[in-house]
Amino acid sequence: MSGKGAPELSVSDAGDLRVGVIAAQWHEKVMDGLVDGALRALRDLGIAEPTVLRVPGSWELPVAAKVLADRGYDAVVALGVVIRGGTPHFEYVCQGVTAGLTRVGTDTGVPVGFGVLTCDTEEQALDRAGLPGSGEDKGHEAVTAAVATAVALRSLSEPWREAPRHTA
């Protein structure tokens, strides 16, 4: 999937949102880049005290996302890296994590940012990790998307205010 066509999101009034970031620990260098990008995005958005929770692997992301969503967080962001190996394990893990995170969002109504890289090689993952020299910054993107969605959903409880255009 190409990263081309991504919107330039401008998000305001997000400073009071409670945001939880959950991050797997496999592929340390890539994860360091994703977590740094996520924290940078939170600073950009004026969100001062996010919760950052580390779990062992990407497989554990959905259960952690569900618990944070149930605890009343306004947005949750899941970060992980799965690299294809020589067995079908990659497909099972990717499928489980993707379906699990989707389900958490739709079951709870809490936006779940998807910052899970599923790559053939570590080089591809490094290029998306927001590190010096990377072409993309998927941790930053995942936070911005989840928070933009939370802001848009919050506008629904204020009936006389027009929903922000960028999230329509």
The binding site for ligand RBF (CB under 6 A) comprises 24, 26, 56-60, 80-83, 89, 93
- The token pair at 86 is 């020589």
Query: Residue with CB nearest ligand RBF?
Result: 57
Q: What are phi and psi of 33, to 5 degrees?
A: -65, -45
Closer residue to ligand RBF (CB): 58 or 149: 58
Closer residue to ligand RBF (CB): 89 or 161: 89
Closer residue to ligand RBF (CB): 59 or 136: 59
Query: Residue 48 is which amino acid?
Result: A
Instruction: Please identify which of the residues 27, 89, 140, 166 carries the catalytic annotation.
Output: 89
Largest CA distance in the chain: 55
Of the CA atoms within 13 Å of residue 112, those in its CB half-sphere come to 29
Q: Is 165 helix (H, G, I), strand (E, B) or coil?
A: helix
Q: Catalytic annotation on 27?
A: no
The residues that are catalytic are 89
